[in-house]
Amino acid sequence: MDNHMFAATELNQKNQRTEKLVRLLFILMAGLLILPVLIILFTLVYKGSSILSIDFLFTNPTNGMTEGGIFPALLGTIWLVVVALIVSVPLGIAAAIYLSEYAPDNWGTRLINLAIINLAGVPSIVHALFGLGAFVVFFNFGTSILAASLTLAIMTLPVVIVATRESLQAVPHAFREACWNMGATRWQTIRRVVLPNAVSGILTGVILEVSRSAGETAPIMFTGAVFFSPFLPQGVMDQTMAMSLHLFVVSTQVPNVPENLPYGVALVLIGMVLIMNSISIAFRMHLRGKKKW
Amino acid sequence: MNITTQEKPAELAICARQLNLWYGTFQALFEVDLDIRKGMITSLIGPSGCGKSTFLRSINRINERLGYVRINGRVELFDQDIYAPEVELVQLRKQVGMVFQRPNPLPTSIRENILFGHKLHNKRSSRAEQDEIVESALQQVLLWEKVKDRLHHKATTLSLEEQQKLCIARLLPVKPRILLMDEPCSALDPKGTEAVEELIWELRGRYSILVVTHNMAQARRASEECIFMLMGKVVEHTPTHQMFVTPAQQETADYIEGRYG
C-alpha cells in the first residue's frame, strides 16, 4: 500500500507529530489549573479537619486565641457580607438597568462605564484606605460593621453591575420589541419581561460578590474588623471579628497557636463560601430549567 | 344611488402626506403620499431598502426609538394626526399592533402571552373575564381548538406558524384598529405561510391591515390593494389585481416580473 493515493507524506507525518505534542502541552497546562485547587483543599482538610466540631464553630476563642472556637468571627463575616449585599445589590442592579435599558450611547454613559472598569481595577488596600477616610472618619461611622460593609460594597459593586448588565443584555431584543409594540413602557417591559429572564445571571454576580466579600481582609482591617472581641456584634455600628482577619491573625500574629487552628479557620471560611455558592448555583439551575427560548 | 356611494371617498385608516424621513443624513422616505383604506389588506412591496419597513414603522412611531430619526410631513390615522404633541405613544401603539418577521412570543405561557397586553392596559380583571379574552383572541386566529388544552404550556413550544398566529392573537385583546405586519411569513415554511395568509385574509374587515412582503405571490394572493415603493418613493398604489395584471409604471412591471429586487 506504499503508493496509496492518499498516503501520508513525510511532511504530513511531521505535522501530525507536532499536532500531538502541542495538544499534549495544552492539556497539561489546563490540567495544571486543577492542581492548586486540589492541593489547597487537600491540605486544609488534612491539617484542619481534626479541630472541626460544633463547639469550634459556636464558642468564643479563649486563652489568647490559641484555644476555643471562632463563633464571633463566623457571625461577624455573615454580618459584613449581608450588610454589604443590602447596599450593593439594589444599587448595582439599578445602575445596571439604567446602563443596559435606558442610557443613550453618549460620552456621559461611556464615562460611567469607564468608572466601573476602573473601580474594578482598584487594589483592595486602596479601597480600604478610601473606606477609612470616607466612612470611618468623614461620615463618622467609626470603625464599625457599617463602615466595613460599605467599603466592601463599593469594592464589589462593579462585579454586580457587570454581571447584571450582561444578563440583561442576554435577554433577546425581540422580547422588548414585542412589549414596546404593545404599548408597554420601558419600566413595564423591564419588570415583566426583562428582569424575570435575567435573574439567573444577576444571581451569578451576587454569588461572586459574596465569595469576594467573605474572603477580603484588607478593606475591613481599618474600617470595622478587630483582632479580638469577646462580644458579639449587636448592630451595624459595632465592631466585629471576621473570618478572613481572624485567619490572618492566628496564622501570623499570635504565638503558640496549635497548627490545626489556622487550617481549621481557613477550612470553615472556604466551606462557608462553597455552601453559599452551591445554594445559589442550585437556585440558578432551577431558574434556568424553567426558562426556554 | 349606487353611483353616489361609489363616488363618496372611502374611509381612510392611514393617510400620509408629504412624509419625509431621515436616518441621520440618509433620507429613507421622500414625499410619501398614501391613502390606505379602512378594513382592507394593503400590501407594500418593493426591493430591499426601498423604505417599506420604514414607512410601516413610522405608523406606530417605533422608529423614533433610534435617536437619530428625523421626520417631517403628516401621518393621520382615522383623521387624527399621530405626530401631534398631545399624542401618547402608549395609546398609539395600543391601537396599532405590529407583527414581526420572526415570531417573538414572550417566554411565558400561551395564556400569559395573550393576556400580556390586556394586563398592561387594564387594572384588574376577573378570572372569567380573562378566560373569555384568551378564548376569543385564540378563536380569531384559528388556534383555539389546537391549544385550548395546553394554555399553560410555554409559548415557545409551539411551531413557528402557531407562534406567529399567537403573536397576532396577542394584539387583539387591546382592540387595535390597525395591524402592521413586517414580512409576517418569511420565517415560515410554505404550509405555515399559507395558514398565516389565510388568517390574515380572515381578519380583513375587522382590522385595517398593512403587510410588508418580499413575496410577490403573497401580495397577489393575500391583499386587496398593493403599493409599490422604490428608493423611498411611492411608485404605484392600485388594487392588487390591477397592479399584477396591468401595472401603470414601467418600474412596477420590471419589479413584479422579477427583473430586479
Considering the domain boundaries, does residue A28 fall inside one?
no
Residue B224 main-chain phi, psi, to 5 deg: -100, -35
Question: Does residue B177 belong to the interface with chain A, where contact is any CB pair within 8 Å?
Answer: no
Specify the pLDDT at position B3.
44
**Cβ separation B91–A183 shorter than 8 A:** yes
Beta bridge partners of B228: B45, B236
Q: Is A109 on the interface with B (CB under 8 A)?
A: no
Q: How far apart are CA A115 and CA A94, in angstroms?
A: 16
Partner B contacted by A180 (CB < 8 A): yes
End-to-end CA distance of chain A: 53
Partner-chain residue, chosen from B67, B102, B171, that has the shortest CB–CB distance to A182: B171
Q: How far apart are CA B236 and CA B241, in angstroms?
A: 13
Within a domain: residue A22? no
The chain-wide mean pLDDT, for chain B, equals 88
Q: Residue A40: inside a domain, yes or no?
A: no
Determine the residue of chain B that is closest to A104 in CA distance.
B67
Comparing C-alpha atoms, which of A146, A178, A173, A42 is closest to residue B182? Answer: A178
d(CA A240, CA A230): 9
Bridge partner list, B186 = none
Residue in A177, A185, A293 closest to B156 by CB: A293
- CB contacts under 8 A, A 9-68 vs B, are none
The verdict on a CB contact (< 8 Å) between B102 and A174 is: yes
Cα distance between residue A27 and residue A188, in whole Å: 49
- Asked if A180's CB is within 8 angstroms of B62's CB, the reply is yes
Integer Cα distance of A251 and A54 in angstroms: 22
Indicate whether B6 pLDDT > 70: no
Split into its structural domains, chain A has a count of 1
Number of C-beta neighbours around residue B167 at 10 A: 26
Task: Examine residue B5 and state whether it is found in any structural domain, yes or no.
Answer: no
**Which amino acid, B140?**
Q
Cβ count within 10 A of residue B75: 20
Put simply, the answer to whether B106 touches A184 (Cβ < 8 Å) is no
> Measured between CB atoms, which of A172, A177, A292 is closest to B154?
A292
Nearest by CB to A197, from B60, B105, B107: name it.
B107
Contact B97 A292 (CB under 8 A): no
Residue B57's closest chain A neighbor by CA? A181
Complex ipTM value: 0.79
CB contact B71 to A (< 8 Å): no
Distance CA A89, CA B2 (A): 71
Judge: B100–A197 Cβ closer than 8 Å, yes or no. Answer: no
B234 in contact with A, Cβ within 8 Å = no
In the three-class reduction of DSSP (H, G, I as helix; E, B as strand; rest coil), residue B189 is classed as: coil
What residues of chain B lie within 8 A of the CB of A182, using their CB?
93-94, 97, 116-117, 120, 170-171, 174
Backbone angles phi, psi at B162, to 5 degrees: -65, -35
The DSSP bridge pattern shows strands B69-77 and B12-23 to be antiparallel
Residues from chain A contacting residue B94 (CB–CB below 8 Å): 182-183
Query: Which residue among B60, B91, B156 places its CB closest to the CB of A181?
Result: B60
Whose grid coordinates read 455552601?
A275
Of A174, A184, A291, Cβ closest to residue B104 = A174
Which of B124, B226, B120 lies closest to B175, judged by CA?
B120
Neighbours of A248 (CB within 10 A): 18
Cβ-defined contact of B100 to A291 (cutoff 8 Å): no
Residue-wise pLDDT tens for chain A (293 aa)?
A: 567 888 888 899 999 999 999 999 999 999 999 999 899 999 999 998 888 888 888 888 888 778 888 899 999 999 999 999 999 999 999 999 999 999 888 899 999 999 999 988 899 999 999 999 999 999 999 899 999 999 999 999 998 999 999 999 999 988 998 898 888 889 999 999 999 889 888 888 888 888 888 888 899 999 988 888 878 888 889 889 999 999 999 898 888 888 889 999 999 999 988 888 888 788 878 877 765 55
In a 3-state reduction of DSSP, which class is residue A230? coil
Per-residue pLDDT tens digits for B159-213 = 999 999 999 999 999 889 999 999 999 888 888 898 899 999 989 889 999 999 9
Number of domains chain B is built from: 1
Best CA proximity match to B231, nearest among B63, B14, B26: B26
**Residue B220 is assigned to a structural domain of this protein:** yes
Give yes or no for A184 touching B (CB within 8 A): yes
Question: Domain range holding A198?
Answer: 71-290
- CA of B244, closest CA in chain A: separation in Å? 32
Which of these, A182, A166, A288, lies nearest to B106 by C-alpha position?
Answer: A182
Residue B139 forms part of a structural domain: yes
- The helix/strand/coil state of A220 is helix
Would the CB atoms of A183 and B98 count as touching at under 8 Å?
Answer: no
User: Which residues lie below 8 Å from residue B212, measured CB to CB, with a gap of 6+?
Assistant: B43, B44, B45, B52, B53, B56, B181, B182, B183
Which range among A212-216, B65-69, B160-164, B247-251 shows the weakest confidence by mean pLDDT?
B65-69
Q: Judge whether B1 lies within some domain.
A: no
Do B5 and B201 form a contact (C-beta atoms < 8 A)? no
| CATH at A163 | 1.10.3720.10
Q: Which residues of chain B are within 8 Å of residue A185 when distances are taken between CB atoms? A: 90
Largest CA distance in chain A: 87
> What phi-psi label fits residue B142: left (phi over 0), alpha (psi between -120 and 50 degrees) or beta?
left
The CATH number assigned to the domain holding B69 equals 3.40.50.300
Which residue on chain B is closest to A189 by alpha carbon? B120
Pick from A47, A38, A37: nearest CA to A263? A47
Best of B116, B168, B175, B210 to mutate (most A CBs within 10 Å, chain A): B116
Chain A contact present for B88, CB below 8 A: no
B107 has a chain A CB within 8 A of its CB:
yes
Q: What pLDDT score does B4 carry?
A: 43
Domain that holds residue B62: 10-256
